[in-house]
Amino acid sequence: MASYHLTTAQLREAAPKLIAGDRVLLSGTVYTARDAAHKRLLGLLEKGEKLPFDLQDAAVYYAGPTPTAPGMAIGSCGPTTSSRMDPYAPTLLDLGLAAMIGKGPRNEAVCEAIRRNGAVYLCAIGGAGALAAKCITSCEVIAFDDFGCESVKRLTFREFPLIVGIDCRGGSVFH
């Protein structure tokens, strides 16, 4: 398995060379969104309204960070179970999303959308949210503040450790 240092801006271009099981240290802008936020995002799309961030080549992290600890940019920020976003992911991928970050397997519709769109699914280590927070240098709520910890946030990653869970050819660490 290979190891890569990538920025979020490089994910779309790098996706064809990434293979399930590869390690990635990711830096750059990432947006948080969990199931309630995904439902609201799709509602905005259905109404023809603008989303709070540009989906084109974006990376979404399925996380709901805890309150910020003193001296840190963010509180504990581990991944949530990705399958909860499966009903929404194909639409977002078709609209330009380049990468999703979470934990656990995805359904076949999501896997097909990853292949169809040349995207990638990256897995973060569950249970290590406090350590993951050390790789996040900034956090700003940008939408759905009424969701509390599940609001949509703009994060800046610095060498956040990830594993390629599903690559753009359909390779998967889950099979």
**Residues with a known catalytic role:** 38
Residues near 154 by beta carbon (within 8 Å), at least 6 away in sequence = 29, 30, 31, 53, 138, 139, 140, 142
What would the DSSP string read from start to end of 39-58? HHHHHHHHTTPPPSS--TT-
Q: What DSSP element (H or E) covers 76?
A: none
Q: What DSSP element (H or E) covers 5?
A: strand 3-7
Pairing of strands 3-7, 23-32: parallel
